[in-house]
């Protein structure tokens, strides 16, 4: 029987009430894939971890667990020891202040990432660090707030989007993850006031620049999955405009959470904006469920393309956030977790994997994502996944002798040599969000300590023997809070939950009972890799329309909408708009990422850098984009995506103002496409006004990696022409 089948069989027995082993072996060690680790407790409260990389001495720590397992107790201490090294008084990065140290009593991101990055620290603080050291957590978050240094643009207090694809925001738009962390730290009035101002200003800015009113979603890259070649079509390596026109599940769920927090804060302040924030949050929740849910897969898609084109790609963080924020109802939450596949070693952060990409986000387990998956599994009492994520988090830390950034999916190794596909390409010890994920696995996952301090344990039955041994109770000692779990006399079920609770001084004593969760077994019978992406279709003029040809059997899409299967060629009727065709390849049940589009049809090109003038032929909605060059930074980083506000004034119509984004480019490329409406026969005048980008923030005076930093803001592109065509989106404009 294969390893995968053995684990599936074990899960089936577990659901039937059988007691299977956890990752911790019968002799309190880890045995995995030819490697082993064990822990020795020392008399002074410290430990020594014996791992494949050698022995690691771990000093006694302020937070402790007392179980029958020295390995479990010692790894909790090791996570705190890792965290102690990440708690710094100064940070540095080669792209800021020429690599010199910047004073900051805060959390650094990891051994190989000694800086403060918005998403890393925010997820870390949300997982556990707000509870461990609230003051340091606030300092860290404050470092990512900034005022504006450019006087000609709207002033405010904004969360910073770090350097990223195409010159950062608004190609990457997950900076609102900051509010996921900030919500835990609002007992400090000054910080709460800053949070209120930042959430109002940041959300207003995102509403203007990245919200699409036609779909009701926010545009931008997937959160954390920011190495575009790993998860987006290969052609985005050289052109990130597509990413800026797509919609990511994780980023939209984070906007939902930020809107919810804004509504709660407005309610407390009796601010008139409360109603609008509530309405926007509810509308976004409905739009997420309308556009990301894929019933045939039983999961939320990781992202959808322009016009909400479905993409057969999934990511665990996005799904977990949808569950934990309440975006997913109970039925969708259970189905999403049951449908998302896993491997013996743990759960991949994306699925399906890419054959042509090295190991990093691709073919990888990231412990912090496993921690969010564990949180989601607790929401719906998914006992098999709770156990599986706990096993994976503990095993990885024990075998690596640190809380590593990531692991290869099948072996859970910190590096696998496969030539150009070797990886993980980068793998930092004591990675902050991995440390936080481990702490959360113990504090919340095992002992059930929730955000409000209440106790809600959901302990898999497989963990009872290694944690309790022959004893009746296990204990967690936090600052000012102690939790004791008491095992039940009989274990008839797969999940232990609270039967009763009582207070004994500062200690909450919880009597556990076993229940049958009814959760499905883990899904482990799926292909690892998705199909290869096809070449762009060939489209030529034919007597009855456009003749579209595909080199291999696949599926044809027109403007993001599925036309149907294609093998060889077919003729598609011409429309009155510019039509863009894309192909996917189908292999078994999976569909590939989409090809580069081939576009045909009417399009007016007005040369020059503006202002421009154009006359409509009929009333309706039109698309407009621009040929441009933005050479102010490389494709993969920077803060100088050019962001403009296009002023459209058509005879007989009210003025319109829409954002246009021109990210860093390799030569001449096309900007993002926006829509406007025009009456029949109207002359329209177009003027491009200055918008806002991350180089406008005061904090980026420290940025010395590329342009837009110490020498001043840069929000500019060389515009060569304006392109106008009838819009396939009907009469609505973004």
pLDDT score recorded for residue 526: 96
List, in sequence order, the alpha helices (H) in 448-505.
464-468
The span from the CA of 468 to the CA of 474, in Å, is 6
Q: Answer yes or no: do 496 and 372 share one domain.
A: yes
**What Å distances lie between residue 728 and 307, 541, 675, CA to CA?**
9, 19, 10
* Residue 551 lies in domain: 538-591
Tell me the three-class secondary structure of 254-306, residue by residue. HHHHHHHHHHHHHHHHCCCCHHHHHHHHHHHHHHHHHHHEECCCCEECCEECH
- Pair 371, 486 in one domain: yes
- pLDDT value at residue 26: 62
For residues 618 and 719, state if they share a domain. Answer: yes
| Residue 133 tokens, joined | 């050291």
Q: Is residue 489 part of a domain?
A: yes
Q: Which residues of the chain have pLDDT under 50?
A: 1-20, 731-734
CA 325 – CA 307 distance, rounded (Å): 25
d(CA 474, CA 140): 33
DSSP symbols for 611-664? -EEEE-SSSEEEEEEEEEE--SS-TT--S--EEEEEEEEETTS--EEEEEEE--
Q: Are strands 407-408 and 47-51 parallel, antiparallel or unpaired?
A: unpaired
> What is the spatial distance between Cα 497 and Cα 383, in angstroms, rounded to a whole number?
11
pLDDT attached to residue 612? 98
Task: Give CA–CA dist 300/289, Å, rounded.
Answer: 8
Same domain, residue pair 453 and 546:
no
- Residue for token digits 């006694």? 60
Q: In the prediction, which pLDDT does 602 show?
A: 85
Q: Dump pLDDT digits (tens) for 197-256.
A: 999 999 999 999 999 999 999 999 999 999 999 999 999 999 999 999 999 999 999 999
Q: Are 133 and 87 in contact (CB under 8 A)?
A: yes
Same domain for 371 and 482, yes or no, is yes
C-alpha–C-alpha distance, residues 349 and 63, integer Å: 30
The confidence score (pLDDT) of residue 99 equals: 97
CB 525 within 8 A of CB 8: yes
What are phi and psi for residue 124, nearest 5 degrees? Answer: -65, -45
CA distance 530 to 680: 47
- The answer on 481 and 371 residing in a single domain is yes
Looking at the structure, do residues 580 and 490 belong to the same domain, yes or no?
no
Nearest to 719 by CA among 607, 602, 605: 607
> Percentage of the chain with pLDDT > 90?
93
CA–CA distance, 256 with 254 (Å, rounded to integer): 5
CB 11 within 8 A of CB 383: no
Across the chain, what does the average pLDDT equal?
95
Position 9 scores a pLDDT of 34
What is the total residue count of the chain? 734
Q: Which of 480, 496, 526 is at the close of a domain?
A: 526
* 180's tokens: 């996921």
What's the rounded Cα separation, in Å, for the pair 606 and 520? 59
Residue 597 lies inside a defined structural domain of this protein: no
* 678 in a structural domain: yes
Residue 27, pLDDT score:
65
**Alpha helix positions (H), 325-382:** 330-339, 367-379
Co-location of 477 and 543 in the same domain: no
Q: Which of 727, 732, 733 is nearest to 576 (CA)?
A: 727
pLDDT at 100 (0 to 100): 97
Q: Three-state DSSP class for 373?
A: helix
Please state, in angstroms and rounded to a whole number, the distance separating the CA atoms of residues 546 and 537: 11
Rounded to whole angstroms, the Cα distance separating 705 from 715 reads 16
Q: How many CB atoms lie within 10 A of CB 607?
A: 9
Point out the domain boundary residue: 497, 526, 555: 526
Q: Are 38 and 81 in contact (CB under 8 A)?
A: no
Minimal CA–CA distance to 645: which of 688, 674, 685, 694?
A: 688
Whether residue 225 is contained in a domain is answered as no
Examine residue 707 and state whether it is found in any structural domain, yes or no: yes
Residue 690 falls within a domain, yes or no?
Answer: yes
Instruction: Enter the tokens of residue 61.
Output: 């720590």
Confidence at residue 11, expressed as pLDDT on a 0 to 100 scale:
40
List the structure tokens of 205. Answer: 């800015």
Nearest-angstrom CA–CA distance, 615 and 685: 9
Based on the structure, what is the number of domains in the chain? 3
Burial class (CB in 10 A: 0-12, 13-18, 19+), 647: middle
Residues 40 and 83 in one domain: yes
Whether residue 192 lies inside any domain: the answer is no
pLDDT one-digit tens code per residue, 677-700: 999 999 999 999 999 999 999 999
- Rounded to a whole number of angstroms, the distance between the first and last alpha carbons of the chain is 55
Instruction: Name the CA radius of gyration of the chain, rounded.
Output: 27
Q: Is 703 found in the same domain as 558?
A: no
- Residue closest to 63 by CA, chosen among 54, 47, 76: 76
696 contact partners, CB below 8 Å, separation of at least 6? 148, 149, 150, 153, 713, 715
Residues 512 and 546 in one domain: no
CA distances in angstroms from 633 to 200, 243, 670, 691, listed in the order given: 30, 17, 17, 18
Q: Are residues 375 and 479 in the same domain?
A: yes
Q: In angstroms, rounded to a whole number, what is the distance separating the alpha carbons of residues 632 and 694? A: 13
Task: Say which residue the tokens 């998302």 belong to.
Answer: 340
pLDDT tens string 608-663: 999 999 999 999 999 999 999 999 999 999 999 999 999 999 999 999 999 999 99
Cβ count near 450 (within 10 Å): 11
């Amino acid at each position: 029987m294969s390893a995968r089948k053995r684990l599936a069989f074990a899960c089936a027995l577990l659901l039937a009430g059988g007691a299977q082993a956890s990752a911790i072996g019968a002799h309190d060690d880890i045995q995995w894939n030819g490697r082993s680790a064990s822990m020795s407790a020392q008399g002074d409260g410290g430990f020594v971890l014996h791992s494949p990389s050698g022995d690691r001495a771990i000093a006694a720590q302020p937070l402790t667990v007392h179980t029958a397992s020295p390995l479990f107790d010692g790894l909790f201490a090791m996570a705190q020891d890792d965290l102690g090294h990440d708690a710094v008084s100064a940070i540095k990065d080669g792209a800021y202040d020429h690599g010199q140290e910047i004073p900051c009593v805060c959390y650094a991101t990891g051994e190989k990432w000694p800086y403060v990055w918005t998403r890393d620290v925010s997820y870390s603080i949300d997982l556990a660090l707000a509870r461990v050291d609230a003051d340091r957590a606030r300092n860290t978050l404050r470092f990512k707030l900034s005022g504006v240094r450019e006087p000609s643009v709207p002033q405010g207090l904004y969360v910073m989007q770090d350097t990223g694809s195409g010159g950062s925001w608004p190609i990457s738009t997950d900076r609102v993850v900051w509010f996921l962390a900030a919500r835990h730290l609002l007992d400090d009035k000054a910080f709460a006031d800053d949070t209120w101002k930042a959430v109002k200003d940041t959300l207003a800015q995102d509403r203007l620049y990245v919200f699409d009113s036609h779909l009701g979603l926010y545009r931008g890259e997937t959160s954390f999955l920011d190495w575009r070649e790993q998860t987006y079509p290969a052609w985005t390596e050289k052109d990130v405009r597509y990413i800026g026109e797509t919609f990511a599940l994780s980023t939209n769920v984070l906007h939902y959470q930020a809107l919810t927090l804004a509504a709660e804060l407005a309610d407390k302040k009796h601010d008139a904006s409360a109603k609008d924030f509530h309405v926007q949050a509810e509308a976004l929740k409905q739009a997420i469920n309308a556009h990301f849910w894929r019933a045939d897969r039983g999961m939320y898609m990781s992202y959808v393309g322009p016009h909400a084109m479905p993409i057969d790609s999934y990511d665990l963080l996005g799904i977990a956030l949808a569950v934990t924020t309440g975006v997913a109802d109970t039925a969708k939450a259970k189905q999403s977790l049951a449908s998302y596949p896993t491997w013996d070693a743990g759960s991949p952060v994306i699925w399906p994997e890419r054959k042509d990409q090295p190991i990093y986000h691709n073919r990888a387990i990231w412990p912090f994502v496993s921690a969010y998956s564990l949180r989601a599994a607790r929401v719906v009492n998914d006992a098999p996944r709770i156990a599986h994520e706990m096993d994976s988090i503990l095993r990885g830390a024990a075998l690596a002798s640190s809380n590593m950034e990531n692991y290869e999916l099948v072996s859970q190794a910190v590096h696998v040599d496969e030539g150009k596909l070797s990886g993980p390409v980068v793998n930092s010890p004591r990675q902050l969000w991995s440390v936080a994920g481990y702490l959360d696995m113990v504090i919340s996952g095992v002992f059930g300590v929730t955000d409000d301090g209440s106790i809600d344990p959901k302990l898999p039955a497989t963990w009872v023997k290694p944690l309790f041994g022959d004893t009746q109770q296990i204990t967690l000692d936090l600052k000012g809070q102690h939790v004791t779990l008491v095992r039940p006399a009989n274990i008839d079920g797969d999940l232990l939950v609270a039967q009763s609770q009582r207070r004994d001084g500062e200690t909450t004593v919880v009597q556990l009972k076993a229940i049958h969760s009814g959760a499905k077994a883990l899904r482990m019978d799926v292909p690892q890799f998705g199909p290869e992406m096809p070449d762009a279709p060939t489209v030529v003029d034919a007597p009855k329309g456009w003749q579209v040809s595909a080199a291999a059997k696949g599926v044809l899409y027109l403007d993001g909408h599925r036309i149907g299967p294609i093998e060889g060629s077919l003729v598609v009727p011409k429309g009155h708009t510019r039509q863009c065709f894309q192909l996917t390849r189908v292999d078994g049940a999976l569909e590939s990422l989409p090809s580069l589009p081939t576009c045909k049809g009417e399009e007016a090109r007005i040369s020059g850098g503006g202002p421009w003038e154009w006359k409509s032929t009929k009333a309706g909605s039109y698309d407009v984009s621009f040929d441009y060059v933005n050479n102010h930074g490389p494709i993969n980083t920077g803060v100088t995506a050019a962001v403009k506000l296009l002023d459209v004034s058509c005879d007989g119509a009210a003025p319109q103002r829409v954002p246009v984004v021109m990210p860093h480019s390799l030569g001449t490329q096309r900007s993002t496409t926006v829509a406007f409406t025009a009456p029949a026969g109207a002359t329209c005048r177009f003027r491009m006004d200055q918008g806002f980008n991350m180089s406008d923030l005061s904090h980026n005076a420290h940025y010395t990696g590329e342009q837009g930093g110490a020498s001043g803001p840069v929000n500019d592109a060389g515009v060569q022409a304006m392109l106008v065509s009838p819009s396939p989106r009907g009469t609505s404009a973004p």
